[in-house]
Amino acid sequence: MTPLVVAKSLFEEHFKEQAVLCVYAPGRVNIIGEHTDYNDGFVMPCAINYGTAVCGRKRDDGIFKVYASDLKEWDEFDVNQPITPNPEKKWAGYVRGIVKFIKERCPEFCNGADVVISGNVPLSAGLSSSASLEVGVGKFCQQLGNLSLTNTDIALIGQKAENQFVGCQCGNMDQLISALGQQDHLLMIDCRTLETTPTPIPQDVAVMIVNSHVKHDLVAGEYNTRRQQCETAAKFFGVKALRDVSLAQFKEKEAELTALDVDVAKRARHVVTENQRVLDAVEALKSGNLALLGELMAQSHDSMRDDFEITVPQIDYLVELAQVAIGREGGARMTGGGFGGCIVAVAPIDKVDAVRQIIADNYEKQTGLKEDFYVCTASQGVSVC
């Protein structure tokens, strides 16, 4: 059953009436452009056909009564009282954070709601289950209170909630693609200007996601450390963000920065080169050059492994296997924040079975973990159902 069907059904079961407002927000996979978003850089994700449904109806007493169906847990809070984290339920922080910052932005928002949430984005897999939840709850609140917030506003409120309420210093990519995704398109996003460039996916090309089942938790510190290192590098170059450093400028001062802090230099090299790879990938896709796209994805993965140091052996092995099956007709790389999660592969549809087979034959045997394999379609962003 889809998340929407599950949420509607459980709402009726728990609240003995039908939901009157339902919202669906997709997860995402990032094709190229990792850890560039919080450096004001470029990314190229697409929304995927896995997401989060938020169904409910208005209450007049300001109480939010929320049921997370996937976890079989409840949370309750008052929108008209100071909203603080629920220390026992991490998921509740995403919901509470969104409501808190929407209330700050729109003080007239004083409605409560009975809500059921259901999702099928794999958790802790780097496919943005959290952003999907944030954008879904944000759109639900916007509709509930008839608030004058755009989908971009909702995405940025989602990022603020994750940064300031949950405690993960993520960029804005995940929320923006969940809010603004377009059917059958990748979306190149300029994370500084928020300008988007839709790039069609050729009809005969498949986007595959393989979940390594090495779970990551980005709040645990490594993600925030990488962000601090990037900020240190930006200060060294005297710029607002690493987006403003060209490859030539980086090379000119690379030795000096390396002498000061080798790790900071490596992080900066990844971001500066990755931004250029995103721009090159847009052109490769426009011209249907899958071989070039594959080369760029391979360079991106190597950079994440060697310079940003966020891959793990299981992920490296999955990329290696996928690339053997794909050859020069596409590429594979780690996707998401790192330290586990998923790889993404882009190749002609007739390569899907070969990629699936080589991974099924080897990955579990080598690692003791069983992968999950998804063939995704680029999907529309958040919608009212």
Identify the DSSP state of 82.
-
Residues 150 and 226 both lie in one domain: no
- What is the phi/psi pair of residue 154, to 5°? -60, -40
Residues 291 and 146 both lie in one domain: no
Residues 209 and 320 both lie in one domain: yes
Report pLDDT for 123. 80
Distance CA 195, CA 180 (A): 11
Which CA distances in Å does 275 have to 195, 279, 295, 300, 334? Answer: 15, 7, 15, 10, 16
223 has binding-site annotation: yes
Residues 107 and 240 both lie in one domain: no
Pick the last residue of a domain from 200, 215, 230. Answer: 200
- Determine the 3-state secondary structure of 329 from DSSP: coil
The catalytic residue among 78, 174, 306, 361 is: 174
Q: What is the CATH number of the domain that holds 362?
A: 3.30.70.890
Nearest of 95, 84, 78, 44 to residue 277 by alpha carbon: 44
* Strand boundaries in the chain, DSSP class E: 21-32, 42-59, 63-68, 73-78, 112-119, 185-190, 196-200, 205-211, 331-335, 342-348, 372-376, 383-384
34 has binding-site annotation: yes
379 has binding-site annotation: no
Residue 385 lies in a domain: no
Report pLDDT for 217. 64
Distance CA 23, CA 339 (A): 31
Distance CA 110, CA 7 (A): 24
Residues 132 and 17 both lie in one domain: yes
Tens of pLDDT along the chain (385 residues)? 999 999 999 999 999 999 999 999 999 999 999 999 999 999 999 999 999 999 999 999 999 999 999 999 999 999 999 999 999 999 999 999 999 999 999 999 999 999 999 999 988 777 889 999 999 999 999 999 999 999 999 999 999 999 999 988 888 999 999 999 999 999 999 999 999 999 999 889 999 999 999 986 655 678 889 999 999 999 999 999 999 999 999 999 999 999 999 999 999 999 999 999 999 999 999 999 999 999 999 999 999 999 999 999 999 999 999 999 999 999 999 998 899 999 999 999 999 999 999 999 999 999 999 999 999 999 999 999 9
Residues 216 and 159 both lie in one domain: no
Report pLDDT for 218. 55
37 has binding-site annotation: yes
Nearest of 226, 205, 244, 234 to residue 303 by alpha carbon: 226
Examine the residue annotation and report whether 217 is marked as an active-site residue of this protein: no
The domain total for the chain is: 2
> For the stretch 322-340, what's the b/e string if a residue is b when 16 or more beta carbons lie within 10 angstroms of its beta carbon?
bbebbeebbbbbbbbbbbb
129 has binding-site annotation: yes
- Residue 80: which domain range? 3-200
Report pLDDT for 220. 60
Residues 41 and 183 both lie in one domain: yes
Residue 342 lies in a domain: yes
Residue 61 lies in a domain: yes
Q: Residue 264's Cα: distance from chain center in Å?
A: 24
Residues 62 and 171 both lie in one domain: yes
Residues 144 and 37 both lie in one domain: yes
- Determine the 3-state secondary structure of 338 from DSSP: coil
Residues 264 and 187 both lie in one domain: no
